[in-house]
């Protein structure tokens, strides 16, 4: 179905904002204007839920989580950045593998199965997009993904 992405994304972030019980600040860099994309709303919700829960799980007390949407000619890039522990360079692609978790001891304490990002990757790929991670250990992590977008579709006037 066709979805106005900024409205859809803000609604998901609101849900986390209203239910969070930890001291993290949300920063939204999301365009005000409509951006229509053709997506499976449930699946992309699942992708964002996974990425945002990870960002919260690995955020320190008082950390900031930044949500960003960048619009290009043929795709939009969505990213979620945290100020958490980060991910070692060698593991940046492995985190998208099933059951892969960076630090077993730490991960066990924080809970989870290691499936979240593998499922996210499957769903983003099914939409014709890409997903990747960037990170500086001790500074934070950014998870980004793209969704196909056709600028011409917005040009109905
Ligand atoms: P699940 O999502 O199934 O509950 P999980 O969160 O451990 O479990 P993934 O979401 O697939 O699994 O993430 C895989 C691993 O990548 C995590 O265990 C963690 O080690 C690392 N990781 C993911 N996101 C972050 C992040 N924002 N900061 C630091 N490490 C991360
Ligand atoms: Mg997860």
What are 128-155's pLDDT values in tens digits?
A: 999 999 999 999 999 999 999 988 776 6
Instruction: Identify the pLDDT of residue 80.
Output: 98
Counting Cα atoms < 13 Å in the Cβ hemisphere of 104 gives 1
Q: What is the pLDDT of residue 141?
A: 98
Q: Which atom of ligand 1 is nearest to 115's Cα?
A: 3
Lowest-pLDDT range of 71-75, 102-106, 113-117: 102-106
Nearest atom in ligand 1 to the alpha carbon of residue 114 is 12
Closest CA to 67 of 111, 26, 114: 26
Closest ligand 1 atom, residue 102 Cα:
20
Which protein residue has the closest C-alpha to ligand 1 atom 29?
86
Average pLDDT over residues 104-129: 85
Residue among 155, 153, 157, 103 nearest 3 (CA): 153
From 116, 120, 144, the mutation candidate for ligand 1 (largest count of ligand atoms within 8 A of CB) is 116
What band does 101 get if pLDDT is binned at 50, 70 and 90? confident
ipTM: 0.97
Ligand 1 center to 153 CA (angstroms): 35
pLDDT band (50, 70, 90) for residue 100:
confident
pLDDT in tens, 75-89: 999 999 999 999 999
| 99 CA → ligand 1 middle, Å | 9
Q: How many CA atoms lie within 13 A of 113 on its CB side?
A: 6
The pLDDT value recorded for residue 139 is: 95
Average pLDDT (22-42) is 97
Q: Which range, 89-93, 97-101, 149-153, is most confident? A: 89-93
Mapping DSSP onto H, E and C, the string for 14-47 reads HHHHHHCCCCCEEEEECCCCCCEEECCHHHHHHH
Is it the case that residue 23 has pLDDT exceeding 60?
Answer: yes
Residue nearest to atom 23 of ligand 1 (CA): 54
Dump the DSSP string for 38-94.
Answer: E--HHHHHHHHHHHHHHHHHTPPTT-EEEEEEEE-SSEEEEEEEE-SS---GGGTTG
What pLDDT sits at residue 56?
A: 96
Residue 71 has pLDDT above 70, yes or no: yes
What is the rounded distance in angstroms from the CA atom of residue 127 to the CA atom of residue 107? 29
Task: Determine phi and psi for 21, rounding to 5 degrees.
Answer: -125, 40
């Amino acid at each position: 179905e066709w979805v106005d992405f900024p409205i859809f994304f803000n609604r998901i972030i609101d849900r986390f904002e209203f239910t969070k019980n930890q001291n993290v600040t949300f920063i939204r860099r999301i365009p005000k204007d409509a951006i229509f994309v053709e997506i499976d709303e449930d699946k992309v919700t699942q992708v964002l839920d996974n990425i945002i829960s990870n960002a919260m799980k690995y955020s320190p007390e008082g950390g900031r989580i930044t949500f960003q949407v960048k619009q290009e000619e043929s795709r939009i890039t969505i990213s979620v950045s945290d100020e958490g522990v980060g991910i070692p360079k060698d593991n940046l692609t492995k985190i998208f593998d099933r059951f892969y978790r960076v630090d077993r001891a730490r991960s066990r304490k924080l809970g989870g199965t290691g499936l979240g990002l593998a499922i996210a990757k499957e769903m983003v790929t099914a939409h014709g997009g890409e997903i990747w991670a960037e990170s500086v250990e001790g500074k934070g992590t950014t998870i980004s993904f793209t969704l196909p977008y056709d600028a011409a579709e917005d040009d109905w006037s």
